[in-house]
């Protein structure tokens, strides 16, 4: 494996930042000034000393060779992860103007990388990912699972009752009932160990204040929640795939025990969503040989970036294993054979009608699905009244953009990239519309992240 000459772009580095403040602070440190004794190796270790406000400079070291995204270590007290020093050093390295020359790893940096790689090695030899280590007694595990199922069943039954009460009295009353009722019900579902139900219930609470057309959306979501309850209560009678889907939608995630698929996985998109407690990171991968699309999910406590970070446009040679459930895209990253490196490949695309049909077909396996990942080929971002759509360059079909996508700055990057000409766009296509995540110009050019 050689990393020679492969440097990331500033955008790719800045994508690692946990928040906007770190991004700014990091880009300020992306200059030679405060750095000394910086260097890098072809094996993917980057290190440097950064002068801070104190007398002793901070020691920053980064291991970019890890396919799960770079690992960082810095002697600064910041709780941001990666800290501004790590970002600054990576920017300096990405800038490639000789400020981070190849060199011999100093002892303090080597200790850390050695320790890290050894731990990773130990973990790999200890057991394949997925086989839960230390679960101990299988009989005890079975009893635990049974107890949980009983609780979930009680929760689902209670939720059915609440939905029935709501429909008996009418949704019009829900507007006055407000948020409190739903929060309380959501808490009951957490008690019932059904986090999937709890999350859906909490979302119901926000719908009555979501603007015109809310009764339709509220009925849709109530009906799908009812469908999920019923799916759980009758899971024994469902086909295996659908039963697994129901379990995963309820919040029983299961292990990623699908057969590992080795491929060159292109990072299509990475974006974070955050609520008060949790940052969720979604990374879409596309397998260059298998043609599969996979979703990596990772989590971080609020204010901290989830640990795994894979900048758009890189590809990694790795194994990926699917989580159970029909129509589920989620997968886990298994063994990695080479560090992520920039590549020029692009996923093949389809016209808008095929994209819409894909979503429809995917609902057969998972009726709760909000969207599917799709790459659109040769579409033109087109203004449509107050909104935007992606229109086929030939023919007269178009997919409207989702409301969320309309207010993002990425929309304007997409429009600018297109300039009225067709572009290739990867995104999520669903009942709310199309959410563009990454775009490629028709001619030569890098992937442009839109999220």
Partner 1 sequence: MNGTAVTPAAPAPGAWEELVTAALLGTERRTPPGVTPGPEAPAALLDAAAVETVRRRAGLRPARAAERPRPAPEDARPPLPAAAARRLAMLLADRPGTGGGGRRGTTPDLMELLPQWLATANARGFAAPPQVLPALLDAARGRTDLRPAALTFAGPRAVWLARLNPDWRFALRATPGGGTALPSPEDTARIQRLWEEGLFAERVALLAAIRAREPAAARELLATSWATERAEDRLMFLDSLRTGLGPDDEPFLEQALADRSRNVRATAAELLSALPDSALAARMAVRAGACVAVDRTRDTPAVVVEAPHECDTGMERDGVVPKPPAGRGERSWWFGQLVEATPLGVWPGRLGGRTPQEIVALPVADDWQSELHAAWCRAAVRQRDAAWARALLGLPAAPEAGGPGAVSLAERAKLLGTLGSAERAEWVAGFIATHGLSEAFQLLGVCAVPWAAPLGRAVVDALNIARDAGSYPWSFSGVMGLAERCLDPSAAGRLDGLLAVPDEGEDASPGAGGYWAEAFQRLVTTLRLRAAMQEELGVVQLPGPSGV
Nearest one of 196, 204, 239, 244 to 223, comparing CA atoms: 204
What is the smallest separation between the CB atom of 434 and partner 1, expressed in angstroms? 8
Residue 278 interacts with partner 1 (CB under 8 A): yes or no: no
Residues between 198 and 217 that touch partner 1 (CB under 8 A): 213, 215-216
What is the smallest separation between the CB atom of 291 and partner 1, expressed in angstroms? 23
Q: Give the CA radius of gyration of the chain.
A: 24
Contact segment (CB under 8 A) with partner 1 among 32-40, 142-150, 272-280, 329-337 equals 32-40
Write b or e for each residue in 8-26: b if 16 or more Cβ atoms lie within 10 A of its Cβ, otherwise e.
bbeebbbbbbbeeebbebb
Give the containing element (helix H, strand E) for 93.
helix 84-95
Among positions 188, 392, 427, 438, the unique one binding partner 1 when judged by CB under 8 A: 392
Site string for partner 1, 96-135 (x = CB under 8 A): xx--------------------------------------
Site string for partner 1, 42-61 (x = CB under 8 A): ---------x----------
Q: Which residues contact 435 (CB under 8 A, 6 or more apart)?
A: 371, 401, 402, 404, 405, 427, 428, 429
How many residues in the shown chain lie near partner 1 by CB under 8 A? 86
What is the smallest separation between the CB atom of 173 and partner 1, expressed in angstroms? 7
Among positions 24, 118, 123, 124, the unique one binding partner 1 when judged by CB under 8 A: 24
The smaller minimum CB distance to partner 1, of residues 43 and 272, is found at: 272
Among positions 190, 290, 400, 442, the unique one binding partner 1 when judged by CB under 8 A: 400
The smaller minimum CB distance to partner 1, of residues 160 and 257, is found at: 160
According to DSSP, the residues that pair with 331 across neighbouring strands are 322
Residues between 403 and 442 that touch partner 1 (CB under 8 A): 403, 409, 412-413, 415-421, 430-433, 441
CB-based contact 50:60 (threshold 8 Å): yes
Among positions 138, 172, 176, 386, the unique one binding partner 1 when judged by CB under 8 A: 172
Inter-CA distances, 233 with 158, 165, 226, 385, Å = 12, 19, 11, 45
Q: Specify the residue for token string 């997919």.
A: 399
CB-based contact 232:150 (threshold 8 Å): no
Residue 239 interacts with partner 1 (CB under 8 A): yes or no: no
What is the smallest separation between the CB atom of 387 and partner 1, expressed in angstroms? 9
Among positions 6, 34, 41, 203, the unique one binding partner 1 when judged by CB under 8 A: 34
Distance CA 27, CA 17 (A): 10
The smaller minimum CB distance to partner 1, of residues 13 and 333, is found at: 13
Residue 145 interacts with partner 1 (CB under 8 A): yes or no: no
Among positions 74, 296, 391, 405, the unique one binding partner 1 when judged by CB under 8 A: 391
For the record, the structure tokens of 31 come out as: 């200059």
Residue 266 backbone phi and psi in degrees, to 5: -85, 130
The smaller minimum CB distance to partner 1, of residues 287 and 433, is found at: 433
> How many C-beta atoms lie closer than 10 Å to residue 215's C-beta?
15
Among positions 56, 79, 168, 277, the unique one binding partner 1 when judged by CB under 8 A: 168
Among positions 11, 203, 257, 365, the unique one binding partner 1 when judged by CB under 8 A: 11
The smaller minimum CB distance to partner 1, of residues 259 and 420, is found at: 420
Residue 191 interacts with partner 1 (CB under 8 A): yes or no: no
Among positions 169, 178, 239, 348, the unique one binding partner 1 when judged by CB under 8 A: 169
Residue 219 interacts with partner 1 (CB under 8 A): yes or no: yes
Among positions 170, 236, 259, 386, the unique one binding partner 1 when judged by CB under 8 A: 170
Distance CA 330, CA 129 (A): 15
Site string for partner 1, 339-378 (x = CB under 8 A): -------------xx-xx--xxx-xx--x-----------
Write b or e for each residue in 56-74: b if 16 or more Cβ atoms lie within 10 A of its Cβ, otherwise e.
ebbbbbbbbbbbbbbbbbb
For the record, the structure tokens of 338 come out as: 């080479």
Among positions 6, 41, 76, 95, the unique one binding partner 1 when judged by CB under 8 A: 95
Write b or e for each residue in 429-442: b if 16 or more Cβ atoms lie within 10 A of its Cβ, otherwise e.
bbebbbbbbbbbbe
Distance CA 443, CA 256 (A): 38
Contact segment (CB under 8 A) with partner 1 among 117-125, 269-277, 310-318, 390-398 equals 390-398
Instruction: Show the beta-strand stretches assigned E in 194-330.
Output: 261-274, 278-287, 293-301, 314-322
């Amino acid at each position: 494996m050689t990393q020679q000459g492969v440097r990331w772009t500033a955008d790719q580095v800045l994508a690692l930042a946990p928040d906007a403040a770190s991004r700014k602070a990091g880009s300020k440190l992306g200059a030679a000034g405060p750095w000394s004794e910086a260097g890098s190796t072809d094996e993917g270790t980057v290190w440097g000393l950064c002068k801070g406000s104190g007398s002793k400079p901070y020691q920053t070291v980064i291991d970019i060779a890890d396919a799960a995204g770079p690992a960082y270590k810095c002697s600064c007290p910041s709780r941001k992860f990666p800290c501004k020093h790590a970002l600054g050093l990576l920017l300096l390295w990405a800038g490639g103007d000789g400020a981070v020359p190849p060199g011999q790893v100093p002892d303090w940096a080597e200790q850390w990388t050695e320790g890290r790689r050894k731990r990773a090695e130990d973990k790999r030899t200890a057991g394949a990912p997925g086989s839960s280590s230390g679960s101990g007694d299988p009989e005890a595990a079975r009893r635990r699972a049974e107890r949980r199922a009983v609780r979930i069943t009680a929760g689902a039954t209670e939720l059915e009752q609440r939905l029935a009460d709501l429909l008996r009295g009418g949704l019009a009353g829900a507007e006055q009932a407000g948020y409190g009722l739903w929060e309380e019900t959501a808490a009951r579902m957490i008690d019932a160990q059904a986090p999937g139900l709890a999350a859906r219930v909490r979302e119901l609470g926000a719908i009555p204040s979501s603007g015109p057309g809310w009764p339709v959306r509220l009925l849709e979501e109530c009906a799908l929640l009812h469908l999920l309850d019923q799916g759980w209560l009758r899971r024994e009678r469902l086909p295996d795939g659908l039963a697994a889907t129901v379990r995963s939608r309820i919040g029983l995630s299961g292990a990623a025990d699908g057969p590992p698929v080795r491929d060159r996985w292109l990072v299509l998109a990475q974006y974070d969503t955050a609520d008060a407690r949790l940052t969720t990171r979604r990374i879409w991968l596309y397998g260059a040989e298998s043609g599969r699309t996979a979703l990596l999910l990772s989590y971080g406590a609020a204010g901290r970036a989830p640990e795994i970070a894979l900048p758009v446009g890189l590809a990694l040679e790795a194994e990926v294993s699917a989580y159970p459930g029909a129509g589920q895209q989620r997968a886990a990253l298994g063994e990695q054979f080479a560090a992520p490196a920039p590549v020029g490949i692009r996923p093949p695309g389809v016209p808008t009608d095929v994209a819409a049909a894909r979503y429809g077909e995917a609902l057969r396996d998972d009726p709760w699905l909000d969207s599917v990942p799709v790459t659109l080929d040769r579409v033109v971002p087109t203004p449509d009244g107050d909104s935007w759509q992606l229109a086929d360059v030939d023919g007269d079909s178009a997919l409207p953009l989702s409301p969320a996508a309309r207010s993002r700055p990425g929309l304007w990057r997409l429009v600018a990239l297109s300039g009225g000409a067709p572009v290739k766009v990867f995104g999520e296509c669903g009942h709310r519309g199309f959410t563009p995540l990454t775009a490629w110009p028709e001619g030569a050019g890098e992937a442009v992240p839109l999220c």
